[in-house]
Amino acid sequence: MSLKKIVILTDSSANIPANLQSQLNIVVIPLWLLWDGESLRDGVDIHPDAFYDRLSGSKTLPTSSQPSSQEFKTLFQQVGKGADAIVAVLVSSRISGTIASAKAAADELPELDIRIVDTLTCAMGLGLIVLAAARAALEGRSVDEIVALTEQMRESVYTIFAVDTLEYLFKGGRITGGKHLLGTALNIKPILHFHEGLIKPLTQARSKKKALAQLLDIIEERLGGNQMVEAAVMDVDAGEEADQVSELIRVRFNPRRLERAGVSPVVGTHVGPGTVGISFFPVVKI
């Protein structure tokens, strides 16, 4: 009996490293970046290095938008040819309309088996779930098993990050409950996390160095003595700091897999330069 072909699809906010996208046959639909009258496809028309160069000299802050339902419909039709099912593993519905667009498209294609998973996270928090789904598909897991795996991982993946400033998150409307962090001394570095699909303040530190050290302590607390299966360290134009954090995670937690990733322009416009983030999860069995 031949293996069923199950397509794993995600959106560009995951910003999964290109080599892993290729190896695991992951399909990516780009989000949109809207900037000074231009509409740019995230990761296609504009890439992180060019984005941060432009941001540093720009007087305006770009905004972002989800793919349209028609874009999803076209892509679903393309990748659905010869496939037994499509599993679309996407950015949190509480910070983006991407899930709504995907569901609207799927409703118009009843002939295709399309499963849509709201991960309630973003960046490589989303990416780690996508990678697990793609590996499961290559192993020959059924579509029901893959969806169950993504839903269980949704409860297990943590994403925490330290930002240089809350300015970008507030301007982009992507943070709640953070007003008490404003107006503090300029050297205060907020630490945030994804919680129930939203970006929320977690704590703060008095310097970037202390914030990064505190991230590691938070990881240890959330692992609760369990083995770290996989982690991804991300940065927004803060590669040297993120490389240091990555090595500290390798030594301290010995994850089975450790990825280094950037952050897509769409995500970068909301968190701002200088951000260092970590997504990780303990053992998950399905």
Query: What pLDDT shows up at residue 1?
Result: 41
Which letter does DSSP use for residue 14 in this model? G
**Which of 155, 114, 94, 136 shows the shortest CA–CA distance to 29?**
114
Question: What fold is seen in the domain 158-282?
Answer: Hypothetical Protein Tm841; Chain: A;domain 3 (3.30.1180)
pLDDT in tens, 217-253: 999 999 999 999 999 999 998 999 999 999 999 999 9
Parallel, antiparallel or unpaired: strands 85-90 and 6-11: parallel
What is residue 93's DSSP assignment?
Answer: T
Q: Which residue has the higher pLDDT, 61 or 115?
A: 115
Q: Give me 281's structure tokens.
A: 């999860």
Question: Is 75 in contact with 133 (CB distance < 8 Å)?
Answer: no
Predicted local confidence at residue 37, as pLDDT: 94
7-35 average pLDDT score:
97
Which position has the higher pLDDT, 170 or 142? 142
Query: How many separate helices (H) and strands (E) can be counted in the chain?
Result: 10, 13
pLDDT digits (tens, 9 = 90+) for 96-140: 999 999 999 999 999 999 999 999 999 999 999 999 999 999 999
| Interval 56-71 mean pLDDT | 92
- pLDDT, mean of residues 191-211: 92
> How long is the chain?
286
Nearest by Cα to 122 from 236, 254, 38: 236
User: b/e map of 226-235 (b: 16 or more CB within 10 Å)?
Assistant: eebbbbbbbb
Q: Which tens digits make up the pLDDT trace of 65-107?
A: 999 999 999 999 999 998 999 999 999 999 999 999 999 999 9
pTM of the model: 0.92
Q: Which fold has domain 6-154?
A: Rossmann fold (3.40.50)
Residues of the chain with CATH 3.40.50.10170: 6-154
